[in-house]
Amino acid sequence: MIPMRSAFLAVLALLAPPIMFGAVQVVPGDGASLQRAIDAHPGQQVFVPAGDYVIDQPLRLKADQSGLWGPGRIIQSNPEADIVNVENVSGVVLRDLTFTRSEGKMETHRPGLRLVRCADVTIDNVQILDNRGDLAAIFAAYCRNLHIKYSYIENYSRIAIDDRTTIPFLGYAFNCINGTGMLIRHSAGTRIEYNRVVELRMLPTPELKAKYNLGKFSKKNPVRGASVSEEMWAAEYFNGWHQGAAIQITKGETSDFVQLLGNYVENAAQGIDIHGDHVIMSHNTINNAFIGMKAMHGSRNVIIAGNQFSRNDLWSIQLQPGTASHVAIPESAASKADPADPEALTWPITRAGANIDGHSIVANNIISDFGYGTAHWMWDSANTAPIQFNAGPLGGPNGKPPPETDVIVTGNVLHDTGRDGVIVDGQVRKEPPRYRYAVRIGTGELGPRGLRFSNNILHPGTDGVSNVELTP
């Protein structure tokens, strides 16, 4: 029989945080003690007690199996620094913590959590508040098996300049709202589930546009880019000034095997933005984003199923090729990597050759309140469509991209809210649809091929269900 005292100590050892018996402890309220404890306990989970911990440099986790957990709040006072930086390690865990920035220093060009060349990292039940940046609250690149779950991101955007002057087929910069909740690049095996990503400040209102001159060119190249219309170039204005996404998976040739499950997004520019292969996007709710979701730039084998899209204003579901889409080429993607992203040159490319869009399924989604979001005033209903299959763009670096090909569209419901009555100026009245077609399909040489529609309920727009006949 185990003596009572021995049994008590055994239980205490199991329940106590690992740092409790270490040589260096975290001191409540002492931000510098966090890095000392991390460095003194490589490969261990460091417990962060309740309290505020102000830091002015990133917390760096440099050993496999290391991590931070607990009820503490970590506050970055330096707007030019990440909050946490994790590179070239595996098995790191960040759990239960709150990460934020000091009052008056919340605007930044740096991510909150930065993960580069990592494997098997878990982010669980954390809050990232007011990392108001034009990059991302969580930024990950060249990672494998990243798992982000049950976490909350709030206020991740800022006023910024989107500079596209180094892109030859564009060649302009403009004032914008920019920022992304989670930005995952060049990564495989990513699982993002049951998170909430919410923006409460930077909403696309006429007042904000006027205050910051949003959409106005800040500079442009001497020669108009091939993908820019003459009208836009002369006006020096780009209407897509609400940039960023709640969740973005990007770099279509290297982002693979991604699961986006049960997330809630509110007040985003783009809800979920996919540039990747073998993606499952299921049971997510996208509330008030001018684009609910899109898959392009070489996104194939994508399943978009069982999602709720509400209060979208331009598109709810958009699939199309992009400027990064291309047919098979002899060189690997690494040899064509963006020089501004030099690490891509050394990242292993597992799928050199074609980067195409399609061979996907859009099934059992519900689209409601279309055209009733915050950005409805920005878009002419003649140009909006709840479900959109665009033709590929001209003028990109790869010439004519291959068309979107072989997509099943089945079991979806589009509900035109206006037909049942909406409240306008305190009165209930029926409104015409805020879209011309329920489904718009690009035509011509670069238009989509092999689309198959069945068992959908699609309330028609002002001009009908579709601009072309839907093929069963």
Considering the four listed CATH numbers 1.10.3470, 2.60.40, 1.10.150, 2.160.20, the one that applies to the domain covering 134-458 is 2.160.20
- CA 108 to chain CA centroid, nearest Å: 18
Query: Which class for 303: exposed (0-12), middle (13-18), buried (19 or more C-beta within 10 A)?
Result: middle
CA distances from 200 to 129, 155, 204, 239, 280 (A): 11, 6, 11, 21, 28
Q: What pLDDT, on a 0 to 100 scale, did the predictor assign at position 23? A: 60
Q: What pLDDT, on a 0 to 100 scale, did the predictor assign at position 338? A: 57
The span from the CA of 199 to the CA of 133, in Å, is: 12
Q: What pLDDT, on a 0 to 100 scale, did the predictor assign at position 171? A: 94
* Pair of tokens at residue 153: 């991101």
* Pair of tokens at residue 278: 């073998």
Q: What pLDDT, on a 0 to 100 scale, did the predictor assign at position 14? A: 42
Q: What pLDDT, on a 0 to 100 scale, did the predictor assign at position 353? A: 73
Which residues of the chain fall below pLDDT 50? 1-6, 8-21, 333-335
CA distances from 284 to 255, 259, 381, 441 (A): 20, 11, 25, 24
The span from the CA of 81 to the CA of 74, in Å, is: 13
The span from the CA of 76 to the CA of 98, in Å, is: 11
Q: What pLDDT, on a 0 to 100 scale, did the predictor assign at position 341? A: 62
Q: What pLDDT, on a 0 to 100 scale, did the predictor assign at position 10? A: 42
Q: What pLDDT, on a 0 to 100 scale, did the predictor assign at position 352? A: 60
Q: What pLDDT, on a 0 to 100 scale, did the predictor assign at position 339? A: 54
Q: Answer yes or no: are the C-beta atoms of 57 and 40 closer than 8 Å.
A: no
Q: Answer yes or no: are the C-beta atoms of 337 and 263 closer than 8 Å.
A: no
Q: What pLDDT, on a 0 to 100 scale, did the predictor assign at position 426? A: 83
Q: What pLDDT, on a 0 to 100 scale, did the predictor assign at position 344? A: 58
Per-domain boundaries in the chain: 134-458
pTM equals 0.92
Q: What pLDDT, on a 0 to 100 scale, did the predictor assign at position 96? A: 98
